[in-house]
C-alpha cells in the first residue's frame, strides 16, 4: 500500500484519488475549496461522473480515502503527490498555470520528507522543469524530491473505465528511479508504460488531443461536402473506420468538440508553436472548422423555418457530451446565445446538466423532461447524444410540437424514419434530407454543362 496525495478534486483529481484508493492505496485528496471538501466528507459529489459516487463512498467506508483542505495534513505521510488542478486558457490561448504554481509553492512549504511530485494536469512543454524550480525556491530547507509528468487521458463520462483500463501510461522524468517508482504504482492497471523525458511526455498529451480534435474537424468538413453532394457522412465514416490506419473513433460528424480539454489544449499548442515562430496551420484550420459548426446549425434552422424572431426553439441536451454535467465550452451555450440574438424564445432540457447550465444561460427556460420541452416548439435542436433521447417516443414529441422540425446536431436519428413519422428533419452531413434523386440531377447537370 502506497501513501498518495492528490491535489485538486475536479474531474481528473477526484477520479484519480478514487481509483488509486480502490487499487488498495491510502489516498488523501486535497482541495482549497472548503465547500467541496465538506461535501465530499458527507459523501456528496461535486461533479457528475457515472460510478464515481459509489466508488468514493466504498473507499471512504474502507478507510482508504480521506479529504482535507490542509497541505500540512495531506503531505505528512505522502510518498507520491499528484497535481491535478485546472489549467484554463489565458487571454491569448496560453495555458494559465496559476493553480499549478500555487500547488507547487504549497508543496514546497509543507513537505517534510522526500517526495515524488507528479504533474497530471495538462501543462505546456517545460512546465515540469518550472515546477521543480518553484519547489526548490520555496522550500524552507532542502528536501529531496523528483518531478514526473504523467498526463491524464480520461474521457468524461467514462473516466473510471479509462483510468482502470488505459490504452497506455505515459511517464516523463529526468530521474529514472522516480519514473520507475511511478511505473510500479501503475503496474496493477496492466497497460503499456511509456517512459521518456519530461518535455516529451508533456508533448505527448498535447499532440494526442490535437490529433483527436483534427479527426473531429476533418469529418465535419467531410460532412459539409456530403450535404452538398447527397452522400451520408455516417456511412462514409463507417466505411473509413474499417481501415485500421484510420479507425472508427472520433469520426462522428456533428456540432463540434467542446469540454475542458480539446478547446484549451489545441489553443495552448498553437500558442506554443507561435512562440517558437512556427505557424500552426493545421491547428488553426481545426479550430476554425470547429467554430463554424455552431453557426451552421443556426443557418440550417433558418433554411427550414425562416425568420426565428418570436419562435419557440427547444434545445435537447446542454452538456458538451453525454454522461457528464460539464458545460465548459459546450456548443449548446453558443447555439442558445445565437438563437436568442435572432429573437427566438429558447428552452432546454438535459438529464444532468440543468443546474450547472442555469447560471450560464439565464435567458433560457430550463424544463425537467423532453416531452415538456417539445410543448409548443417550432423546432428542436439536438446538442447532446444522450441515450435517453434515442429512446424517446417521437410520435408523442411530434404531437406536442407546433411545427415538427428537428435539427439533429448529433445524427442520433435515421432520416428515413424521421421522414416517415412526418418530421422535417435535418441531420449533419446527410445530404438534402436524403433527397438523392434531386442531388443526382444537379450533379449530372453540372458535369454535362
pLDDT in tens, 266-276: 999 999 999 99
Query: What CA–CA distance (Å, rounded) separates 48 from 352?
Result: 8
Decide if 261 is catalytic: yes
**pLDDT tens digit sequence for 283-311:** 999 999 999 999 999 999 999 999 999 99
Q: What integer pLDDT is reported at residue 435 of this predicted model?
A: 53
Q: What integer pLDDT is reported at residue 333 of this predicted model?
A: 98
Q: What is the arithmetic mean of pLDDT over 185-193?
A: 97
* Statement: residue 442 has pLDDT above 90: no
Tell me if 67 sits within 8 A of 40, measured CB to CB.
yes
Query: What CA–CA distance (Å, rounded) separates 396 from 35?
Result: 42
* Statement: residue 343 has pLDDT above 80: yes
Assessment of whether the complete model's pTM goes beyond 0.85: yes
**Which residue out of 19, 226, 261, 377 is catalytically annotated?**
261
When the pLDDT of each residue in the chain is averaged and rounded to a whole number, the result is 95
Would you list the domain boundaries of the chain? Answer: 3-196, 209-436
SS (HEC) of the chain: CCEEEEECCCHHHHHHHHHHHHCCCEEEEECCCHHHHHHHHCCCCCCCCCCHHHHHHHHHHCCCEEEECCHHHHHCCCCEEEECCCCCECCCCCECCHHHHHHHHHHHHHCCCCEEEEECCCCCCCHHHHHHHHHHHHCCCCCCEEEEECCCCCCCCCHHHHHHCCCCEEEECCCHHHHHHHHHHHHHHCCCEEEECHHHHHHHHHHHHHHHHHHHHHHHHHHHHHHHHCCCHHHHHHHHHCCCCCCCCCCCCCCCCCCCCHHHHHHHHHHHHHHCCCCCHHHHHHHHHHHHHHHHHHHHHHHHHCCCCCCEEEEECCCCCCCCCCCCCCHHHHHHHHHHHCCCEEEEECCCCHHHHCCCCCCCEECCCHHHHHCCCCEEEECCCCHHHHCCCHHHHHHHCCCCEEEECCCCCCHHHHHHCCCEEECCCCCCCCCHHHHHHHHHHHHHC
Topology annotation, domain 209-436: Rossmann fold (3.40.50)
**pLDDT tens digit sequence for 111-166:** 999 999 999 999 999 999 999 999 999 999 999 999 999 999 999 999 999 999 99
Grid coordinates representing 447 are: 458535369
Are 3-196 and 209-436 in the same CATH fold? Answer: yes
The class level of CATH for 3-196 reads alpha beta
Amino acid at each position: 500500500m502506497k501513501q498518495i496525495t492528490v491535489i485538486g478534486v475536479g474531474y481528473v483529481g477526484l477520479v484519480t484519488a478514487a481509483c488509486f484508493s480502490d487499487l488498495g492505496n491510502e489516498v488523501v485528496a486535497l482541495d482549497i475549496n472548503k465547500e467541496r471538501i465538506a461535501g465530499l466528507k458527507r459523501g456528496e459529489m461535486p461533479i457528475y461522473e457515472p460510478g464515481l459516487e459509489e466508488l468514493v463512498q466504498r473507499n471512504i467506508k474502507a478507510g482508504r480515502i480521506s479529504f482535507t483542505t490542509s497541505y500540512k495534513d495531506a503531505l505528512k505521510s505522502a510518498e507520491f503527490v499528484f497535481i491535478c488542478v485546472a489549467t484554463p486558457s489565458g487571454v491569448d490561448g496560453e495555458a494559465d498555470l496559476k493553480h499549478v504554481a500555487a500547488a507547487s509553492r504549497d508543496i514546497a512549504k509543507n513537505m517534510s520528507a522526500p517526495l515524488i511530485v507528479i504533474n497530471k494536469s495538462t501543462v505546456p512543454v517545460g512546465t515540469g522543469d518550472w515546477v521543480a524550480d518553484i519547489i526548490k525556491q520555496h522550500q524552507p530547507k532542502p528536501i529531496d524530491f523528483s518531478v514526473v509528468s504523467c498526463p491524464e487521458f480520461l474521457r468524461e463520462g467514462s473516466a473510471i473505465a479509462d483510468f482502470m483500463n488505459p490504452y497506455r501510461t505515459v511517464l516523463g522524468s529526468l530521474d529514472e528511479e522516480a519514473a520507475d517508482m511511478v511505473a510500479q504504482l501503475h503496474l496493477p492497471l496492466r497497460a503499456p508504460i511509456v517512459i521518456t523525458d519530461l518535455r516529451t511526455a508533456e508533448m505527448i498529451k498535447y499532440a494526442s488531443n490535437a490529433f483527436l480534435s483534427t479527426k473531429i474537424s476533418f469529418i465535419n468538413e467531410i460532412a459539409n461536402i456530403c450535404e452538398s453532394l447527397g452522400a451520408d457522412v455516417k456511412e462514409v465514416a463507417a466505411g473509413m473506420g474499417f481501415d485500421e490506419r484510420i479507425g472508427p473513433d472520433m469520426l462522428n460528424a456533428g456540432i463540434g468538440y467542446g469540454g475542458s480539454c480539446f478547446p484549451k489544449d489545441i489553443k495552448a499548442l498553437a500558442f506554443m508553436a507561435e512562440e517558437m515562430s512556427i505557424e500552426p496551420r493545421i491547428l488553426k484550420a481545426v479550430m476554425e472548422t470547429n467554430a463554424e459548426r455552431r453557426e451552421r446549425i443556426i443557418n440550417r434552422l433558418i433554411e427550414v423555418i425562416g425568420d426565428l424572431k418570436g419562435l419557440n426553439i427547444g434545445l435537447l441536451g446542454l452538456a458538451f457530451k453525454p454522461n457528464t454535467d460539464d458545460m465548459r465550452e459546450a456548443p449548446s451555450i453558443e447555439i442558445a446565445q445565437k438563437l436568442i440574438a435572432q429573437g427566438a424564445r429558447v428552452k432546454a432540457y438535459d438529464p444532468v446538466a440543468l443546474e450547472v447550465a442555469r447560471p450560464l444561460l439565464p435567458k433560457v427556460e430550463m424544463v425537467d423532461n423532453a416531452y415538456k420541452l417539445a410543448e409548443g416548439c417550432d423546432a428542436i435542436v439536438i446538442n447532446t447524444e444522450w441515450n435517453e433521447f434515442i429512446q424517446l417516443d417521437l410520435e408523442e414529441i411530434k404531437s406536442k410540437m407546433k411545427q415538427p422540425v428537428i435539427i439533429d446536431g448529433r445524427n442520433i436519428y435515421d432520416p428515413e424514419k424521421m421522414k416517415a413519422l412526418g418530421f422535417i428533419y435535418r441531420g449533419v452531413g446527410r445530404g438534402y434530407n436524403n433527397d438523392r434523386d434531386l442531388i443526382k440531377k444537379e450533379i449530372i447537370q453540372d458535369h454535362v454543362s
